Structure 1
Amino acid sequence: MLDIRKIKAISLDLDDTLWPVWPTIERAEKALHDWLGEHAPKTAELFASPLALREIRESMTAQRPDLKHDLSALRRESIRLALNNAGDAPALADAAFEVFFAERQRVDFYDDALAALTFLGGRFPLVALSNGNADVQRVGIGHHFRATLSAREFGVGKPDPRIFHAAARAVQVRPEDVLHIGDDATLDALGAINAGLQAVWINRAGHAWPHDGEPPLTLASLSPLCALVCAQVKPGP
């Protein structure tokens, strides 16, 4: 069970915890395709469907395992490969990626997310901890976080215990004093528990716990967690 009295800091996943990620990715891929249609029409025609783009991304993942934890580099090099395969200029990849990346930062928050960030950030130092490539500053929520840590920057991603421990060090607390909040049962919830943190699984879709043993505290949104905290923790200075 969650011991709120022990919490000195909170680490938070981003994609599918604070906003649904796939609508964002779909919009970003459409913006990318529209840009390719103007600047690299052969690539736009060859990779007209999101499925085709994802297939070439899977191909790049197989070719470049060193980019496993750097989704931005993986996306950029996938675009470069698509341009090359279609006969367009591979040098367009950087500009094309920037179009995708800018749109990828336009997210639609879950209804509970912004209020929860304000509430929790007023009581604990928050660390953004993500395997993805959302930029909290460009998304507009950077002011809520004392630190941000991504798999791209750190070199390994969740559920590796080292990235959870690095999040604890970033706000100068012990791992056992950190609560990690995230939507992925394996990467977030089980990963945090195995790293010695407390965990809350944000299970908005009502999935079954996929692992042996009892799940951590499981909530359908961030709002009930704020209510639990409100009963026991006073606001910070």
Structure 2
Amino acid sequence: MLDLTIIKAITLDLDDTLWPVWPVIEKAEAALDEWLGRHAPMTAALFANPTARHDIREQIVRTRPELRHNLSAIRREAIRLALYRSRENPLLAEEAFEVFFSARHEVTLFDDAMLALEFLSARYPVVALSNGNADIARIGLAPYFRAAISAQAFGVGKPDPRIFHAAAGAVDVQPYNVLHVGDDAALDVLGALNAGMQTAWVNRADHLWSHDAVPHETVTSLTELCDLLRLADPQP
């Protein structure tokens, strides 16, 4: 059970907690493929082969281990390598990546997300905590967050306790005073538990819990979470 009396801050996952991520990634991939088809057709043909696309990404991850948490850099370098292999201009990689990255931020929030952000940010300092490369400013959500910590900027991702501790430190609270909210059982819930935080698992799809350690609370929506937190602060 949550101890509502000690919560002083919220850390909040982004992808699949505030919006479904795979539909937007698929649209961003399509935008990139369309752009490459016009500007680098041989690279577009190479990327049309799923095996070749996977192999290029794996080569970047293998040869550039320092980028393992930097999804943006991995994708940019994969595009650059594909251009090089296709004997097209590698300098197109920056513009091609921006096509993808712009489309990646055209997210569609879950129906409960905006009201939840308004509720949470009015009561607590909220920190975005993500292993992904979404930019809350580009999406237009920055006003609801006191800080944003990403794996690619911090150099370590969830479930490593260090990134959770960094998020708590960003708003000057101790980890045990933080409630972490996210959809991923291992990365979000187990990671936050190991970091000494309280946890709320956002289980929108009615998944079964399969770990020994359990979240302090399980909710099916952010609205349900806000209703719980309202018990600690009954303001409108």
TM-score range normalised by the length of the shorter chain = over 0.9
The Cα shift of 1:215 comes to 3.8
- Between 141-150 and 79-88, the greater mean CA deviation after superposition: 79-88
Q: Within the alignment, does 1:186 sit opposite 2:186 as a pair?
A: yes
TM-score, structure 1 as length reference: 0.95
Structure 1 residues 198 and 51, CA gap change in structure 2 (3 angstroms): farther
Structure 1 residues 124 and 51, CA gap change in structure 2 (3 angstroms): farther
Structure 1 residues 51 and 224, CA gap change in structure 2 (3 angstroms): farther
Deviations 1:114-164 (A, max 9, x none): 110001111100000111000000011000000111111111011111111
**Structure 1 runs (4+) greater than 4 angstroms displaced:** 49-52
Is this contact kept in 2: 1:29–1:50, CA < 8 A? Answer: no
Aligned-partner SS, 2:11: strand
- Between 41-50 and 198-207, the greater mean CA deviation after superposition: 41-50
The Cα shift of 1:56 comes to 2.3
Is this contact kept in 2: 1:24–1:106, CA < 8 A? Answer: yes
For 1:227, the aligned partner's letter is: D
**Could you tell me which residue of structure 2 aligns to residue 163 of structure 1?**
163
**Could you tell me which residue of structure 2 aligns to residue 85 of structure 1?**
85
Partners of 1:234 and 1:52 lie apart in 2 by: 55
The Cα shift of 1:51 comes to 6.1
Is this contact kept in 1: 2:200–2:215, CA < 8 A? Answer: no
Aligned-partner SS, 1:179: strand
The Cα shift of 1:67 comes to 0.6
Is this contact kept in 1: 2:199–2:215, CA < 8 A? Answer: no
Partners of 1:18 and 1:157 lie apart in 2 by: 19
Unaligned runs of 5+ in 1: none
For 1:233, the aligned partner's letter is: D
Unaligned runs of 5+ in 2: none
Partners of 1:213 and 1:195 lie apart in 2 by: 13
Percent identity over the alignment is 60
Deviations 1:27-55 (A, max 9, x none): 00111011101110111112125664344
- Between 189-198 and 81-90, the greater mean CA deviation after superposition: 81-90
**Could you tell me which residue of structure 1 aligns to residue 11 of structure 2?**
11
For 2:43, the aligned partner's letter is: T
Q: How many residues align?
A: 236
TM-score, structure 2 as length reference: 0.95
Deviations 1:178-209 (A, max 9, x none): 00001110110000000000000111112122
**Could you tell me which residue of structure 1 aligns to residue 199 of structure 2?**
199
Q: Within the alignment, does 1:104 sit opposite 2:104 as a pair?
A: yes
Partners of 1:232 and 1:183 lie apart in 2 by: 23
The Cα shift of 1:59 comes to 2.9
Partners of 1:138 and 1:157 lie apart in 2 by: 21
**Could you tell me which residue of structure 2 aligns to residue 153 of structure 1?**
153
Partners of 1:172 and 1:154 lie apart in 2 by: 17
Is this contact kept in 2: 1:209–1:215, CA < 8 A? Answer: no
